[in-house]
Amino acid sequence: MSRIGKLPVTLPKGVTVSISDANVVSVKGPLGELKQPINKDLKVEVMDNAIVIQRPSESKIHKSLHGLSRALIANMVTGVSQGYKKQLELVGVGYRAEAKGQNLEMSLGYSHEIILQLPGEVKVETKTERRSNPIITLTSTDKQLIGAVAAKIRSLRPPEPYKGKGIKFVGEQLRRKAGKSASV
């Protein structure tokens, strides 16, 4: 059996789950509501304040969908109860970021400012202090969406391996390369 799929997803206080006839799982909590369609072959049940997923056979497709579906539902439960947060750090001289509503304005060393329109489900905050790198903080209930938005922001100026300049996640370890060495 799938080691991930057979684990029940426990529901914290304040989180309710409803399953429609079309096998769409909707999770509602204090931070919002998320919906996810689940394959019709899998059986999703709510028992004893936990969500249990059962598969009909031992076929390869059912095994892979079993673990995937459980992980997606667990991510939704965590999202509506605690939420997700990603922090990005801008490393470089003159790099700055400013949040204006759902727009994120960044100066990343290009000849122009980059303005990024963020989805409504993602909240953005920027923090700039003297003598430290600007930090962009993203918060959301949807793990997949916040990961995609953070990856999009990071792709605008990925960190380079020589000086480490660019946009990186807070706490990310970069592989640095040695520069040119003069031959003797």
pLDDT at 128: 92
My answer on whether 58 and 93 are in the same domain is no
Nearest Cα residue to 136 out of 107, 109, 93? 107
Answer whether 103's CB lies under 8 Å from 118's CB.
yes
My answer on whether 102 and 31 are in the same domain is no
pLDDT at 184: 63
Domain hosting residue 45, numbered range: 9-81
**H helices then E strands: how many in the chain?**
2, 13
Nearest Cα residue to 134 out of 158, 113, 155, 106? 106
Global confidence as pTM: 0.89
Read off the pLDDT of residues 169-178 as tens digits, 9 standing for 90 and up: 999 998 999 8
Answer whether 26's CB lies under 8 Å from 16's CB.
no
Reduced to 3 states (helix: H, G, I; strand: E, B; else coil), residue 169 is strand
Q: What is the DSSP letter of 118?
A: P
CATH of the domain at 24: 3.90.930.12
Categorize the per-residue pLDDT at 21 as very low, low, confident or very high, splitting at 50, 70 and 90: confident
The domain total for the chain is 2
- Asked if residue 37 is part of any domain, the answer here is yes
- Single out the residue in 63, 81, 99 at which a domain terminates: 81
Q: What is the DSSP letter of 179?
A: -
Read off the pLDDT of residues 120-151 as tens digits, 9 standing for 90 and up: 999 999 999 888 999 999 999 999 999 999 99
